[in-house]
Amino acid sequence: MKTIDVLIADDARPFRIGLRALLEAAEGIRLSAEAIDGMEAVRLAREVQPDVILMDLHMPGMNGIEATRHIMQTSPHIAVLVLTMFDDDDSVFAAMQAGARGYLLKGALKAEILRAIHSAAAGEAIFGPAIARRMIDYFQRMNRDWSDLFPQLTERERQILALLAQHRSNHEIAAELTISTKTVRNYVSSIYDKLQVADRAEAILRAKKEGLV
């Protein structure tokens, strides 16, 4: 069985030491290099050409998402496996969009990390249980029929209300929907009237209470 070469990219020295010990004790896996920030990860990935990179997201200078994007541009055959403490939607999906092949949290069991390395090296996408549940919940929300919420609103008004609940400004909403700021203001006024709320804060509260966001 081919030995899997692994690069660790993490600025936390104690965590790197723990990972190093785990990899050195594992059969079929070889630690090829360690990076303490995104820039070094990009450089070492180019020079060492590992099979798998264990990538932290929040590092000084270039973060793990940017580093992943750079690595995918120059070495798309390398499997980047995110190993981080951040499990928010923005981090998960930004990492996936950058080209990461998997996403684990730092609390993962040692056996889970080793399985993920083997899976990523084999070309599989791998996610920890907590991340998998988050992704399922996300896509279920995406596929939900929103027409049963706020039936008094038009589809466009529900769309704008959802953006308001994400704390987007009128200008940001106009840019995203390719409409004028004046048109957004008109829609927002209509939303206030139909929901019988006094201001943006009340509208956001109603949207979140009903599960629109």
**pLDDT tens string 116-132:** 999 999 999 888 877 77
Rg (CA), the chain: 22
List the domain boundaries for the chain: 4-139, 146-209
Tens place of pLDDT per residue across the chain (213 aa): 689 999 999 999 999 999 999 999 999 999 999 999 999 999 999 999 999 999 999 999 999 999 999 999 999 999 999 999 988 878 888 898 899 999 999 988 999 999 999 999 999 988 887 777 777 766 666 655 555 678 898 989 988 998 998 889 999 999 888 899 999 999 999 999 999 999 999 999 988 887 776
CATH of 146-209, one of 2.170.270.10, 1.20.950.20, 2.60.40.3500, 1.10.10.10: 1.10.10.10
Q: For domain 4-139, give the CATH superfamily.
A: Response regulator (3.40.50.2300)
Supply the pTM of this predicted model.
0.66
- CA nearest to 187, candidates 211, 147, 179, 213: 179
Fill in the DSSP letter of residue 180: -
Amino acid at 157: E
d(CA 203, CA 184): 15
With b for 16 or more beta-carbon neighbours within 10 A and e for fewer, the 50-86 pattern comes to: bbbbbbbbebeebbbbbbbbbbbeeeeebbbbbbbeb
Mean pLDDT of the chain: 90
- CA nearest to 84, candidates 151, 38, 142: 38
